[in-house]
Amino acid sequence: MFLGIDIGSAYGKALAMDEDAKVIAAVLKPTGLGGAKLAEYLRLELAEKVGSNPDFLFTVATGYGRVNVPFANKTLTEISCHARGVNFTFPQARVVVDIGGQDSKVIVIGPKGEVEDFAMNDKCAAGTGRFLDVMARALEVDISDLGTLHNLSQKRLEISSTCTVFAESEVISLLAQGEKREDIIAGLHRAICNRVYGLLRGRMKKAQSGAVVLTGGVARNQGIISAFKEKAGNDVLVPPYPQYTGALGAAVIARELWLKKEGRQENV
């Protein structure tokens, strides 16, 4: 069994893949614990879930906390791992938009999942999961309910502030004016998509496929997917478990490197 482990800013994710490139199980945990403790927790939790020995054949670690995975055989950037994870799920896809806890990225990928170009916003919380985490708290709703609430929206509200701090004040004022939470939420989703679309626009031309793949924890939110479809006007594809894309790519690479080491490249 191979292990892909992605220690992100918000969540640690781990995914087990077998020799036939079949995904066996995956686990995630908020990054709270941090450091090597989180990596060890994920490894043991996953091994227990799949009933395997916690000594995986090969482990690739990614994410901003990848240096804190002492048992990793190799570390790689989340950009490379996301690209491979998307290629595994959607081999035709050429453009990826990954919205995580503290950054958003646009990655243009080649036919084998190689990175051809990328752009990243990691300077500002607007356009990241953090923006939605702050707003969900201000609105007193659970992050996992944002998508359902978005679908109830019947009035188009625009959130004019692009900065997270100002947008939070704007949300509180809108609530005080009697605006409905679902309309505010749909407005917030459009604001994030506008922000991320700025990164995407220039790179669409380089990609041959018209479809955009949305990944990261924020792509679990159906409201974001709807807002993105409206903004991009392209086909938007979402993997079944978008938050695991980096861990999936890491596991794909772990398997590939191990097969190479064993002299069995023909299976790659």
Interface with ligand ADP by CB under 6 A: which residues? 8-11, 63, 100-102, 129-130, 132-133, 143-144, 216-218, 220-221, 243
Minimum distance between the CB of residue 55 and ligand ADP, rounded to whole angstroms? 26
Minimum distance between the CB of residue 63 and ligand ADP, rounded to whole angstroms? 6
Q: What is the DSSP letter of 43?
A: H
- From start to end of the chain, where are the E strands? 2-7, 11-17, 23-30, 58-62, 74-75, 95-99, 104-109, 115-121, 212-215, 236-237
Nearest-angstrom CA–CA distance, 187 and 33: 33
Q: What is the DSSP letter of 217?
A: G
| Full DSSP string of 48-61 | HHHT--SS-SEEEE
Nearest-angstrom CA–CA distance, 254 and 84: 11
CB nearer to ligand ADP: pick between 192 and 257: 192
Minimum distance between the CB of residue 130 and ligand ADP, rounded to whole angstroms? 6
CB nearer to ligand ADP: pick between 84 and 220: 220
CB nearer to ligand ADP: pick between 102 and 161: 102
Ramachandran angles phi, psi of 209, nearest 5°: -90, 140
Minimum distance between the CB of residue 245 and ligand ADP, rounded to whole angstroms? 8
Encode 126-151: b = buried (16+ Cβ within 10 Å), e = exposed: bbbbbbbbbbbebbebebeebbebbe
Q: Report the half-sphere exposure of 53 (CA within 13 A, side-chain side).
A: 5
CB nearer to ligand ADP: pick between 8 and 239: 8
Minimum distance between the CB of residue 218 and ligand ADP, rounded to whole angstroms? 5
CB nearer to ligand ADP: pick between 164 and 258: 164
CB nearer to ligand ADP: pick between 108 and 135: 135
Minimum distance between the CB of residue 73 and ligand ADP, rounded to whole angstroms? 21
